[in-house]
Amino acid sequence: MSSTELIGGRSVDLTKATVLVVDDQPVNIQVIYALLCEDYTVLAATSGEEALSVAREARPDLILMDIVMPGLSGMETCQKLKSQDDTSEIPVIFITASYSSEEENECWMSGGIDFISKPINPMTLKNRVKAHLMLKYQKDTLLEMVYLDGLTGVFNRRYLDEHLIKHIHLSKRSKRETCVLLIDIDFFKQFNDRYGHVQGDDALKQVALLVKSKGLKRITDFVVRYGGEEFVVVLPETNISGAKQVAERIRAAIQTLNLEHLDSPFGELTVSIGITGCLSYDVDDSAVLEAADQKLYQAKVSGRNKVCF
């Protein structure tokens, strides 16, 4: 079965999709692996607890979940996945040998999106997996249109507004620091005035690309275009010391672009960065961003092209 489909006249390749198979019987995992491995990346977990860990680390595109397992059942595992912000959007298909309506209702209520009956029909499995991966692709594409900045390709302010508060809540509950970097391109108005907005836009795209490549090392990290020439980087489960290392790496990388800026005392494009941690503040994203902005202001008034925390 081909894992390529046409959507709106465009060919969509699903071979990069990842499917997590959860079953306490390795032989069942092997059967599903043999059916899907030629088309997708297939991961495995033999318990609900392991599935939660793999899902958080790998962020699969789809989960095939056995219902009856020792320890956490499939339904309990699904409920936990749906209760966590970083895994709540992963679709779960239950694999079941039961045909009782009561159990099916429980599966729907726990967050499942479909069923596959045992013994598994290979054609049914392949088509159900492909159909739900296509639905996820379409959903992800729509979300990108809503959440991505059109110029730089990084997330936009709307994404920050909806997701920063989630990380603040998680940080409070886990007692593990989440840090926020507020990045501002130094003397960017003067850069636009001298070199024009076309070069200004190109500079913004180069800065965004470097922030992503040098600042985002984990799947949970993200960068947002916050304003005209400002970017926000959110680093979950990162203390101030770690955030400072990331910020210095970003600052140095942007300076090494060697983009001429004759209206800057440095003679080239640079950035100033303010850092704050979420644990120090109440559960309020505006307070966290204001604190980062105060640190950014310190970086500016003390000479720019530096990091303050």
Which one-letter amino acid corresponds to residue 214?
Answer: K
Which one is catalytic: 89, 229, 268, 290?
Answer: 229
Give the separation between CA 95 and CA 93, rounded to whole angstroms: 7
229 as an active site residue: the answer is yes
Give the separation between CA 192 and CA 54, rounded to whole angstroms: 46
Give the separation between CA 119 and CA 28, rounded to whole angstroms: 10
Element (H, E) at 5: strand 4-7
The three-state secondary structure class of 62 is strand
Instruction: Identify the burial level of 31 via C-beta atoms within 10 angstroms of its C-beta, where 0-12 means exposed, 13-18 middle and 19 or more buried.
Output: middle
The three-state secondary structure class of 23 is coil
Q: Annotated active-site positions, please?
A: 229
